[in-house]
Structure 1
């Protein structure tokens, strides 16, 4: 009898173990298989939230088939205590395993609200935008002047959210003074700036920051990135250039940056200045005169006067020979590359052509004809009120 009972118990135990093993295999397959989500969603994890709460939300949103399996999988992989607060883009078909990895690894939010602070040559703007999970493109909620008295309520609302991300976009051609003044004015940053960085040494780019980031640390990052770009561009320079140091390259690149907003023209503009330097001609470029007037502190906001074109300043290339002593703005990568690899041309003149670009010329006679065309365009624009 006892022998039969023991045999039956062993049979039941074996069957139970077999079923448990099957259940574990099934659960593991459910955990790693593609999930039921048929379109992306943005999952927001509040500070202090738990894996239990998140698992329920995911099941309610149709992102996981079982909150229990999701929670047990997080426990088994020892990631329950690694849950991060933030907003996370959960893509269609994401497995439970992939979702857990997304919400527990260190890093910034991948969806939700982003505040972008743009520092431009003539103005600063702030934009509050939100990622649309379906298109994975940002949708603008509001754009405004951050220096205005009336700030949209949505800005303050989003500033209070712990998962709001922040980004600074630095335009090509801004001066170091403009950058520092803009950073000092933005309330999402903290700390003092001891001095304005050297002109030309801040890399135009997009920088992701955290709320309360130190201004000085951000400026250090911008300078480090620009030094790397300068070194990289200098390594690719042509061998017969009339510039002999990375500093001279940076100065030339800043002039190229301020002379044209048309990317395809940078090589041609660079060739004009290189040809002039080779021939001992003065550069005669208006942006250097403007810098001599403003010292990079703001925008001139009007046309140059004849007296300013004749006035001797260290930057006035109508008066001085060769390059000015410092850059006149912060150039981007394309202008740095153009400075050391200009187009091969015989151009020594250029003037605006009315289309936003320039007309280039090899001779003074040809240049004068281009100037006459530009003067006619200017007159027509003035008479039409444009």
Structure 2
């Protein structure tokens, strides 16, 4: 009798072990592969998450998930975020992903020199926001003031980079903007940058504005940024208009009247707070979100007497000190160049 009881107990233990293994390490779900994005909301716990996974066909046993989750301690690590699972994954794999915070992210690349209008489009095309969402956030005065920036917008402070955006930020443009502004201030030490800006006669915000113009005007070699910077610094000191086409274009975009990507003569005399052909000094705010190199160039200009530069049509520019010299280069690299290519 005792022998039969021992044998029965051993069999039960073996069956229990097999069942536990299947529940924890294998997934017996059959049929079509299902994917599910688990959104962990504030207040969620192991039981609510287990129900979500079960009701969406990702796990079979809520009990197995809860027990393993407790053993892994994930009940103490739950924060609002998102994970992507499928019904071919074991409970062990699911719990391990949560324990190790392998959150579901979407890769978004914001190129250097992107404007807030372009950034809004980039994130909308990734399905993270609706068009206009980021524009509403970056022009919200109370949000701008939160970062201690003296401007009417966060243009210039949305750091261009490749981001792995938590899926949980979907529909949350405030969090997306905050992510980018914080990236800017991780790259730029505000106290140090403000000191460097002051040394060249600029405020913190003016330096970022100048960096944005340099970003749009400078050619391919990064060394050119420092030469372009010297031209603008020299013009600012002499109270000469910066005469940057990039600022004119931004003003037209901001007014909603830039449509065919073709800068016309009348555009240069159309007054906006960004038109540096008719206004002396810097525009009222940045015209794009500059690279780190352009930010450096704005406060570390090359030591030159240059006042002009013109494109050589190969991604580089030629610089000059006098208007006469400049006009000769305009004739060579612009007028004659394009005349012989018609």
TM over 0.5: yes
Superposition pairs of residues 1-386 of structure 1, within 5 angstroms: 50-51=24-25, 82=72, 106-108=100-102, 165-188=105-128, 195-197=136-138, 198=153, 199-213=155-169, 214-228=172-186, 229=188, 231=190, 234-235=193-194, 237=196, 240-243=199-202, 245-262=203-220, 263-295=222-254, 300-375=259-334, 376-381=336-341, 383=342
The 1-side partners of 2:251 and 2:130 are apart by: 32
**RMSD across aligned C-alpha pairs, in angstroms?**
3.4
The structure where strand makes up a greater share of residues is 1
**Shift in Å at residue 167 of structure 1?**
0.9
Tell whether the 8 Å contact from 1:188 to 1:212 is kept in structure 2 after alignment: no
C-alpha distance after superposition, 1:100-152 (max 9, x if no partner): xx97861438xxxxxxxxxxxxxxxxxxxxxxxxxxxxxxxxxxxxxxxxxxx
The 2-side partners of 1:108 and 1:331 are apart by: 31
The 2-side partners of 1:236 and 1:180 are apart by: 32
1:142 equivalent in structure 2: none
Please, what TM-score do these two structures have when normalized by structure 2? 0.61
Which structure has the bigger radius of gyration?
1
Please, what TM-score do these two structures have when normalized by structure 1? 0.55
Q: Which has the higher contact order (CA 8 A, sep 6+)?
A: 2
1:148 equivalent in structure 2: none
Partner-residue secondary structure (3-state), 2:340? helix
The 1-side partners of 2:177 and 2:206 are apart by: 22
C-alpha distance after superposition, 1:279-299 (max 9, x if no partner): 221111111111221118696
**Shift in Å at residue 235 of structure 1?**
4.6
Q: Which runs of 5+ in 1 are unaligned?
A: 1-47, 54-77, 88-101, 110-162
Partner-residue secondary structure (3-state), 1:295? helix
C-alpha distance after superposition, 1:196-255 (max 9, x if no partner): 412222111111123342332111111222244261661561664132x11111111111
The 2-side partners of 1:297 and 1:333 are apart by: 29
The 2-side partners of 1:167 and 1:270 are apart by: 33
Runs of 4+ in 1 over 4 A off after TM superposition: 78-87, 102-105, 188-194, 296-300
Count of matched residue positions in the alignment of Structure 1 and Structure 2 = 243
The 2-side partners of 1:239 and 1:200 are apart by: 18
Q: Which runs of 5+ in 2 are unaligned?
A: 1-21, 28-67, 75-82, 86-95, 139-152
